[in-house]
Structure 1
Amino acid sequence: MVAWLHNTASGTFAVKFNGSTFDLYGEPKHFLVDQGHSSNGAAGTAIVLIGFGGILTLWLRSRPNILGAKLTSFFYGAWLVILVLGLMLTIGSLGYVFSVTNAHKGQTIDVNVASTTGNHKYALDSWTPQNWFPAMLKLDLADDSQRNDIVKHLRIMRGWQYNLIPLFLIQLTTTVLAGLEFLERRKMRPTAGDYGSVERSSGEQKFAAPPSA
């Protein structure tokens, strides 16, 4: 979608109006795309750092002899921190994307103004990709292939927006399970007192007198 916005959509689309045709730029002058970057950042963090990073971290934890216990423990602790920060990023992105998109919901393109823009981009209002392209589809586009192209990429835009919902649920579940597992392992970890008890017990067994016949 990003490649399409910077290439095809940055060009013009032919629109029929009042018996003639005019060219309308595929991007308005005031185009809001930060929410798209936020969504991409949340998804990238979840897939690369939390997903692939988690697989590597848990694999190393099951084989502590590869890096050593201390270094393996450090990587595991860092992954838990990233897990929490990634969840916060997804929550923020989820709220940001939907709030910005809904704030511009229902906007329409004034075709009278659009037909007189000439070599300039449409300047009325601010738009998100999910709002601008449905408005373009309401115009009488002269080229059916361009209309079909917009429909296909609009489906992708809505996809990355609504994918934030299952992404949030999966990350929330993963974070809760990882936190519970961390607390359980911490409870099972022997303390210094436990080590002392084991050593004393071993010493008593070592120097105990053999039983009489």
Structure 2
Amino acid sequence: MAVSLPLAIALGALMIDGILELSFITSMVAWLHQTASGTFTVNFDGSTFELYGEPKHFLVDQGHTSNGAAGTAIILIGFGGIVTLFLRSRPHILGQKFTSFIYGLWLTILVLGLMLTLSALAYVFAVTNSHKGQMIDVKVASTTGNHKYALDTWTPQNWFPAVLKLDLANESQKNDIANHLRVMRGWQYNLIPMFLIQLTTTVLAFLEFLQRRRAGPSLVAYGAVERNSAEQKMVATP
């Protein structure tokens, strides 16, 4: 029994979406280190001051969690699924028992990966929404000197909109922040389709598992029926 076309399509879509998620997060991290680690020039009270691009209390764990969910979807579920399903169709490569073990392990990883993505989705939106509407106290910011802004805690998706509401002196810095803010919101909201695609992949994988189980015990793990059928045809051919 070949791998169902919907499952193959779902695996491919999940890997593509996971790569997109990783690309967004990597782009954000690179920009934070290269640009936001410096300062932004702000007009205030007839003069300017330098505001550090990152606040003192910057929350980034939600990004690490999303990065882990995307990596799991690409490597363990995507590439792992391709290898697993290939071996399942050719059990003689590693042996029936070991192939059965790998198949069962992959199905378990599917469920755990789905839970990780759901956790990342809930975590990112909960943390971001809990800081929604925060504003930078420009008077306090202007007196921080050589220190990062210390009031409140911030996520990237909350801090940079607040920065954009300040009177930034450099238009190119303003445009740069706005462009990368779209990237930050991109990986946040991309968690929604990634979860839905992963849920679809998991459901299709288990439906196929149940179909193979109903078809016969040997189909559950390694597809030996197909191999035996092929061997019988070869013997019957004169």
Q: TM-score, normalised by structure 1?
A: 0.86
1:4 paired to 2:31: yes
Could you tell me which residue of structure 2 aligns to residue 131 of structure 1?
A: 158
Answer 1 or 2: higher relative contact order, Cα 8 Å, separation at least 6.
2
1:138-191 deviation digits (Å, cap 9, x = unpaired):
111111121111111111110110011001101111111111211221222248
Higher helix share: 2
- Deviation digits for residues 67-88 of structure 1, max 9, x if unmatched? 2222222111111010000000
What's the counterpart of residue 146 of structure 1? 173
Structure 2 matches for 1:60-75, cutoff 5 A? 60-75=87-102
The runs of 5 or more residues in structure 2 that have no matched partner are 1-27, 219-238
Q: Report sequence identity in percent.
A: 80
CA–CA distance in 2 between the matches of 1:36 and 1:54?
25
Q: Name the larger-Rg structure.
A: 1
Mean Cα deviation higher: 53-62 or 98-107: 53-62
User: Residue 203 of structure 1 aligns with which residue?
Assistant: none
SS of residue matched to 2:193: helix
Alignment of 1:1-213 (within 5 A): 1-190=28-217
TM-score (norm 2): 0.78
Question: Is the alpha carbon distance of 1:190 and 1:96 closer, same or farther for their aligned partners in structure 2, counting shifts above 3 Å?
Answer: closer
Deviation per CA, 1:95-127: give whole Å up to 9, x if none: 110010000001111111100000000011110
- The offset of 1:9, in angstroms, is 0.7
CA offsets 1:27-66 (integer angstroms, 9 cap, x no match): 0011111111111111111111111111111112122222
Separation in 2 of the partners of 1:45 and 1:151? 30
Deviations 1:1-47 (A, max 9, x none): 11211221111111111111100000001111111111111111111
SS at match of 2:49: strand
State how many pairs are aligned. Answer: 191
Structure 1, unaligned stretches of length 5 or more?
A: 192-213
3-state secondary structure, aligned to 2:181: helix
SS of residue in 1 equivalent to 2:30: helix
Query: In 1, distance between residues paired with 2:84 and 2:147?
Result: 52
